[in-house]
Amino acid sequence: MHLISPELLFVISIVAGFIGAMSGMGGGVVLIPALTLLGLDIKHAIAISIVSVIATSSGAASAYVRDGVTNLKVGMFLEMFTILGAIVGATVTLASGDQGLFIAFGVVLLFSAATLFLRPHDTGYLHRQDGVSRWLELHGSYYDHAAGETIQYRGRLSYVGGPMMFGAGFIAGLLGIGAGALKVLILDLAMGLPAKVSTTTSNLIIGVTALAGTSIYLVAGLIDPGIAAPVILGVVAGAFVGTRMLKRLTNTHVRRFFLVVLLIVGIEMLLRGFKVI
């Protein structure tokens, strides 16, 4: 049972969804620390967060998929790895102590802060494909409105990307977050896909991965509908606004703001993990 008012949960979730959409990292990175600060234990916070991740991912993916930028085959190949990772990750969470989860969360946030400044490669997407990636049909094209041209690409190193996605799924299931930054990193840097394809395909994968993690938390009895309902509504509303605001802000402003947010929250979670605060 919980004592946090639904109104407060709704407002916090709007902020989390808003920041999550603007940063591209999902609402969990803000939602989980906020819920734990309000007195919810971290495992319940993780379980609630991962349900809300399904909502934001599905909402965003519905638009991206219809626009034709998402590569469905890349997504569906990699989902095989992420769902297994999420199930293992969620199972580990159930068996873990709270302090370990706080530390893991802090480390992932600080790592995410570093990835904000990794620049995606923006040229040369027609890689020489390895046999496995060719067999998996990991190629495609999309029309880039900003560049005014059709971008063609071929994915590579799928035999590396797949197992790495198990790790991304593990972190998603373990910590109840989308782990979008990590997934985009794998799609972009390892598999050589264009940034837009990486981001939108990652979004598609996140929903199914979160569902796999949720299945474990549901059976464990950690999904509290009284908390989940206002959180889902708030995160969806916040993400809806955040996605539209994103178009008005420059990348530099967004990145600076989120660097500060991630550093503060990451260090705060680490300190709580080590029982300094």
Partner 1 sequence: MTGLQNKATQPANTVPSGADAGQQIPQQEHVMELLIGYLLLAGVLASVTLLIIGLVWQKIITGHFALNYLISGMNLFQFVVSDFRTLLGDASFGPRIFVNLGIAALLLTPFIRVVASVFFFALAERNWKYTLFTLFVASVLTYSLFLR
Q: Which residues of this chain interact with partner 1, rule CB under 8 A?
A: 1-2, 5-7, 51, 54-55, 57-59, 61-63, 65-73, 76-77, 79-80, 83-84, 87, 126, 129, 134-137, 139-143, 145, 150, 152-154, 207-208, 210-212, 214-216, 218-221, 223-226, 228-230, 232-233, 236
Residue 236 CB, nearest approach to partner 1 (Å): 6
Indicate the residue among 36 and 52 with the shorter CB distance to partner 1: 52
Minimum distance of partner 1 from residue 13's CB (angstroms): 12
CB of 19 to partner 1, least distance (A): 20
Looking at the Cβ atoms of 97 and 226, the one nearer to partner 1 is 226
The string of DSSP letters for 57-110 reads: HHHHHHHHHHHT-S-HHHHHHHHHHHHHHHHHHHHHHHHS-HHHHHHHHHHHHH
Q: Which is nearer to partner 1, 182 or 212 (CB)?
A: 212
H or E element, residue 144: strand 139-144
The secondary structure element, H or E, covering residue 154 is strand 149-154
Q: Closer CB to partner 1, residue 146 or residue 277?
A: 146
The least CB distance from residue 48 to partner 1, in Å, is 11
Q: Which of 107, 223 has the CB closer to partner 1?
A: 223
Contact status, residue 199 vs residue 246, Cβ threshold 8 Å: no
Instruction: Give the C-alpha separation, 146 to 196, whole Å.
Output: 11
Cβ atoms 139, 154 nearer than 8 A? yes
CB of 183 to partner 1, least distance (A): 15
Largest pairwise CA distance in the chain:
57
Residue 56 vs 112, nearer CB to partner 1: 56
User: What residues contact 131, with CB distance under 8 A and at least 6 apart?
Assistant: none
In the bound complex, what is the minimum distance in angstroms from residue 54's beta carbon to partner 1? Answer: 6
Instruction: Give helix then strand counts, H and E, for the chain.
Output: 11, 2
For helices 158-175 and 72-95, the axis angle rounded to 10 degrees is: 40
Residues forming a β-bridge with 152: 141
